[in-house]
Amino acid sequence: MRGIQYIYDNQGNRVKVVVDLRRYEKEFAIFLDQLSRQENSSNASSNGTTNSNPVHGDVITHIGGGSAANARTLKVKALLQTAFSYAGVPYRTGGTTRSGMDCSGFTQTSFKTIGVNLPRVSRDQATVGKSVSANGLQVGDLMFFATGTPGRINHVGIVSDTSNPQGIKFIHASSSRGIMETTMAIDYWKRAYMTSRRVV
């Protein structure tokens, strides 16, 4: 069973995305609305109609057909869409819902939507997956910090943007501002940083 969408890449090429729904139904369902909006916006003609039929020269990309890289890309897009949907949710110790979340509750809840079950607290989450160096971070990785006792992990966030290696961005549950995106360009986070893990 396949799901098909037509989107545009960064070079303006029309891309046919084919997703194996037997393996990635949940991720595709999360991502589908975003893709549909992009398709409708990009394909609208001057008379306001939309053409969703393939045209000669279309680039065809199969996602979920066996490529681990493509499968990860789809999962990470779904993960970040969910994570950013919580922006502004207030901080609440022990919280895991939109009424309030703490840092590890936020990461646990976000990853659960793509089928990844993380432990409840940040120091235990730091034992899952594989270790990633600070200069090898990718979007979707987990970053861990010691913001209390030196050397003791007590905070976690999700890498959201790696376009600036000196200012990697991550989304997390700030104890003072709730769910928000921040940057490693801030000295506080540079000093508090401990390690990173890749679980997708």
* pLDDT tens by residue, the chain, 200 residues: 555 555 544 455 555 555 555 555 665 666 655 555 554 554 554 444 444 444 344 444 444 455 677 888 999 999 999 999 999 999 999 999 999 999 999 999 999 999 999 999 999 999 999 999 999 999 999 999 999 999 999 999 999 999 999 999 999 999 999 999 999 999 999 999 999 999 99
* Residue 186, pLDDT score: 97
Q: Catalytic: which of 75, 77, 169, 172?
A: 172
Pairing label, strands 14-20, 59-63? parallel
Domain ranges of the chain: 2-66, 87-198
Q: Catalytic: which of 77, 155, 169, 197?
A: 155
* Residue 26, pLDDT score: 60
Residue 33 in tokens: 């609305």
Of 52, 41, 44, the closest CA to residue 6 belongs to 52
Active site residue 121: no
Q: Catalytic: which of 74, 103, 168, 192?
A: 103
Active site residue 72: no
* Residue 68, pLDDT score: 73
Listing DSSP states for 76-102 in one string gives HHHHHHHHHHTTTPPB-TT-EETTEE-
* Residue 101, pLDDT score: 98
* Residue 61, pLDDT score: 44
Active site residue 172: yes
* Residue 69, pLDDT score: 77
The CATH architecture one would assign to domain 87-198 is Alpha-Beta Complex (3.90)
